Amino acid sequence: MTVIVALLLLLAVVIGGLVWFTARTARKVEAALPPRGRFMEVDGERLHYVDTGGDQPAVVMIHGLGGNLLHFDYALAGRLAGAFRLILVDRPGSGYSTRAAGADVSLTAQAAAIAKLIAALGLARPLLVGHSLGGAVALALALDNPDCVGGLALLAPLTHPQEKVSPVFRALLIRSSLVRNLIAWTVATPLGIRRGPAVLKEVFAPEAVVPDFPLRAGGILGLRPKAFCAASSDIVAINDVLPGYASRYPSLDKPIGILFGTADRLLDYRKHGQAMKAACPALDLELIEGGHMLPMTASDRCASLIHRIWARQQMAPDGA
């Protein structure tokens, strides 16, 4: 009995130490990278966004899995500054946007939240830019709220259900919210610190990780337990409604463009780019050499696509 008690005490000390380390790391991360934008309450949650303002045409930018709005601010936003009013959004639960425990995490719910942000800001049919999972959110928004979207410029987007998850993200496949929170507050942060360089290398492959990704692109925000829980919830829920949206793609009547890297190791350009082209023949599909993190590694090509789709949007019958 004494041995069992001692082991339980040791376990409690270890868990307590991990929780303390996780909480301390989260505080340090948020001190190093505080919110840069504004907050808007949407259905009881707070959405964090950066709005450059001005009278230029509006572009709303939606980041991918485990990311935050700084992924666009790293390089792409600077290439678009002056030509567009940019609204960079932290998806619900990501970055500094909140997501309550037990909240709807589906693509439908995330798209609805961003649609309400667009309406509240008074944006007239903005161009949506979606990277990776943000591409799926942008597509859901365009299908569910077509009147508030002018066009879509998608960068290495998730467009169809994923039968298999990349090995990089398999550790996020946790369906139990209890287990997810337990891992988030104990081992996720120290493992994230240890495995971070290897994970980033795979995410950016075959290209090199961009300089100072942890700070300039907000990478360290992913070390917080809330970020782990949000990413895990997102990846578990991806296929819940995506098949239904995919079946509706032929009904899309907005100008759409996709930029994909043919060496992308996370999403196959054939399954998510060429398959989308088959569903929407008028879609502008551009394939380039490169990997998945195009907003940072190919920001010039991304900016070119955005300008091109905006021009097509202006020529459309309902162009803003």
Per-residue pLDDT tens digits of the chain, which is 320 residues long: 687 877 777 777 788 889 999 999 999 999 999 999 999 999 889 999 999 999 999 999 999 999 999 999 999 999 999 999 999 999 999 999 999 988 999 999 999 999 999 999 999 999 999 999 999 999 999 999 999 999 999 999 999 998 888 888 989 999 999 999 999 999 999 999 999 999 999 999 999 999 999 999 999 999 999 999 999 999 999 999 999 999 999 999 999 999 999 999 999 999 999 999 999 999 999 999 999 999 999 999 999 999 999 999 988 766 54
Written as one string, the DSSP assignment of 231-243 is HHHHHHHHHHHHH
Written as one string, the DSSP assignment of 257-273 is EEEEETT-SSS-HIIII
CATH node for 2-315? 3.40.50.1820
* Domain boundaries of the chain, sorted by first residue: 2-315
Q: Is the pTM of this model over 0.85?
A: yes
Smallest CA-to-CA distance from 306 within 49, 84, 145 is with 84
Please state, in angstroms and rounded to a whole number, the distance separating the CA atoms of residues 40 and 146.
Answer: 22
